[in-house]
Amino acid sequence: MLEKRKISNKFSLSEDIVLYPCDCLKLLETIPANSLKLVVTSPPYNIGKEYEKRLKLESYIEQQSAVIHECVRCLSPHGSICWQVGNYVDNGAIIPLDTILYPIFSGLGLKMRNRIIWHFEHGLHCTQRFSGRYETIIWFTKSDKYTFNLDPIRVPQKYPGKKYFKGPKAGQYSCNPLGKNPGDLWVIPNVKNNHVEKTDHPCQFPVELIERLVLSMTDEGDWVFDPFLGTGTSIIAAIRHKRRGAGAEMSSKYIDLAKHRIGQELNGTLKTRPMDKPIYDPVEAGNSLIKAPWSKKSENKSIQPIATLRLISTLACRKSRFWPSKYL
C-alpha cells in the first residue's frame, strides 16, 4: 500500500498524493462521491491577506457554501469534516466565522461532534480589545457511524498513579495506561517566526494539529482532502501516517512550497515539531528574557508573600475606629 508515493496533479483513487494547482471546485468535480474519509482545512478568513480577495460577507458565505456542498458530496458516510476558522473583522467588530458557517453544515444534514478550541500563545497585540489567542475547529460527521480512533492521540495522564478508593475496583489504577482523552481544548504552538516549520505563508497550519485529526478520524489508506491547501501541511500529515492526501491551491508560490515540503517529507528530511513535545516554558528553561529590564534588582528577587500583605492590612485596620474589633 502507498508504494509509489509520487505527486500527481489529477485526482484518481489509484493515486497516493494529489496536488492540484487551481480552484478547489474544479478538483472536487473530479472526485467520486463518498470517497474522502476526512476533509480538513483552514479557509481564507476574508480579512485581506495576501492570498485572498476580500469580499462582502454575503459573497464570502456563498463561496464557502459552494465548497462545503461539494466536500459533503465527496465525503464517505463514515467520514468527517473539520473546518478550522477564526474571526472575520468588519470595521473593528469581530464576527466568529464558525457561527456563520455552522448553518451551512447543519443544513446539509451533518452533525457537529465537537467545537475544538485551538489555543496558542503568539499573535498580534491588540490595543482596543483583548488579543486573540485561539481559533476553532468545527468537526462534523455525515452519519452516526463515523471513524474515531482515540488511542493514537491520547495524551499523558495528569495523575497516572491514581487509584480507585472504593467499590469493587478499590486499590486498582483508575487511569488508562495509554493516556487520557486530549479533550476539546488543544494547546499547540502556532507557526510563527521561530517555529521550525515556518515558511513564507503568513497563516500556516502546524503539522501536529492536523496529525491529531488524521490519526483520530481516518485509517491507513484513507483519503484526506484539503480544499485550501496552502503549503501542503494536510497532505504531509496524511502521508506521514500512511494515508492518501489531496489538495488544491491557487497560488503558484504556495504550490511550489507544498511540492518542496512534501518532497522533504517523502525523503525524511522535513523538520516538524513532534506531536508529543511539551510546550516550551521560559521559566523552566531559565530564559534570561523573563527578567524585566525596567524592574529594580530587588523587585526581581522576590515578591512579598500574600500572607504578609494580609497581616499589614489587618494591623492597619485595627488602628481604625471604623473597623469593629469582632472582625479582627
Q: Give DSSP secondary structure letters for 250-281.
A: --HHHHHHHHHHHHHHHHT------TTPPPP-
Per-residue pLDDT at 310: 53
**pLDDT confidence of 217, banded at 50, 70, 90?**
very high
What is the average pLDDT value for the chain, to the nearest integer? 86
* 109 touches 141 (CB < 8 A): no
pLDDT at 267 over 70: yes
How are beta strands 111-119 and 244-248 bridged, if at all?
A: unpaired
**pLDDT confidence of 318, banded at 50, 70, 90?**
very low
Nearest to 20 by CA among 259, 267, 270, 263: 259
Q: Which residue has the higher pLDDT, 193 or 245?
A: 245
**pLDDT confidence of 34, banded at 50, 70, 90?**
very high
Digit-coded pLDDT (tens) for 44-62: 866 555 555 667 888 889 9
Q: Express as a percent the part of the chain with pLDDT over 70.
A: 85
**pLDDT confidence of 241, banded at 50, 70, 90?**
very high
The reply to whether the predicted model has a pTM over 0.75 is: yes
Complete domains list, the chain, with CATH:
7-267 (3.40.50.150), 295-327 (no CATH)
pLDDT at 10 over 80: yes
Digit-coded pLDDT (tens) for 107-157: 999 999 999 999 988 877 888 888 888 999 999 999 999 999 999 999 999
Per-residue pLDDT at 50: 57
Taking residues 19-34, report their average pLDDT: 97
For residue 66, give the C-alpha cell: 459552494
Separation between Cα atoms, residue 113 and residue 75, nearest integer Å: 16
How big is the CA angle at 298 (ends 297 and 302), to the nearest 5 degrees? Answer: 115
Q: How far is CA 152 from CA 49, 117, 122, 142, in A?
A: 35, 20, 28, 22
